[in-house]
Amino acid sequence: MIEIQHVSKSFGGNQVLKDVSLSLEHGQVVAILGPSGSGKTTFLRSLNFLERADSGTLRLGDDVYDLHSANKKQVLEVRRKTGFVFQHYNLFANMTALGNVMEGLVTARKVPKKEAERIAKEALDKVGLSDRYDYYPAQLSGGQQQRVSIARAIATNPEVILFDEPTSALDPELIGEVLAVMQDLAQSGTTMIVVTHEMGFARNVADKVLFMEGGVVVEEGTPDRIFNHARQERTREFLQRVSGVPAASGIPVATAKAA
């Protein structure tokens, strides 16, 4: 069980997260939807201490971490148990795909280079890049670079992978290859929390969907309930906007396009 409870965060006088909570079982996929500025990315970054929350706790198995006051050792523990996939890849330009995946294993986890190379190649194989080990980021498409980023995340065998709008920086024709990798990960039992504008992924792959706005969770439930039977008017308005199909209470929403 992964439990995130009562996360709040302000930047100056602007409170961007207001008592946000979420729970999921290992092997589940949670999709977080919402308009820009709703707090989705800040919430995700708070779970990995890329932002320091004002309050909140994170439970990973039997271990509980205070998202505000965790010390350096606890922060390192959380980062070793979680993977993070960014919008803009964050690859080292002077390293090959293989080198990018190996770097965290060798530097942060002190894995011997030979073993790190084996793990990194397996991870790249899983994302369909077995023929791109020696390619540098500049030689790869955006979709391939994001797949290297995903390989880097799965190479550490994390308890959960956090995805921050992983397709938002991609050209439309490259989005599908990244979503296909993510769907394969979901089917293999990888635990994932995904901030996304890809409604088809949220509807067809996620076990649970959250809709956020104004720093709060407006509504959460199964994809069927959120997309077909949303209870909150604001949720229905959002889904109507991103799908272009009118959505009334109790009336199914057509399969939505990416926002």
Q: Looking at residue 172, what is its pLDDT?
A: 87
pLDDT tens figures, 59-70: 998 999 999 999
pLDDT tens figures, 80-115: 999 999 988 889 999 999 999 999 999 989 999 999
For residue 246, pLDDT beyond 80 = no
Cα 199-200-201 angle, rounded to 5 deg: 90
CATH architecture for residues 2-243: 3-Layer(aba) Sandwich (3.40)
pLDDT tens figures, 120-158: 999 999 999 999 999 999 999 999 999 999 999 999 999
Q: Looking at residue 169, what is its pLDDT?
A: 85
Q: Looking at residue 243, what is its pLDDT?
A: 74
- Quick one: which of 215, 175, 219, 173 has its CA closest to 196? 175
| Residue 220 exposed, middle or buried by CB count within 10 Å (0-12, 13-18, 19+) | middle
For residue 53, pLDDT beyond 70 = yes
- Quick one: which of 238, 256, 247 has its CA closest to 35? 238
State how far the Cα of 216 lies from the Cα of 20, in Å rounded to an integer: 6
The average confidence (pLDDT) of the chain is 91
State how far the Cα of 85 lies from the Cα of 95, in Å rounded to an integer: 18
Q: Looking at residue 188, what is its pLDDT?
A: 92
Domain ranges of the chain: 2-243
List, in sequence order, the alpha helices (H) in 48-141: 72-81, 97-107, 113-126
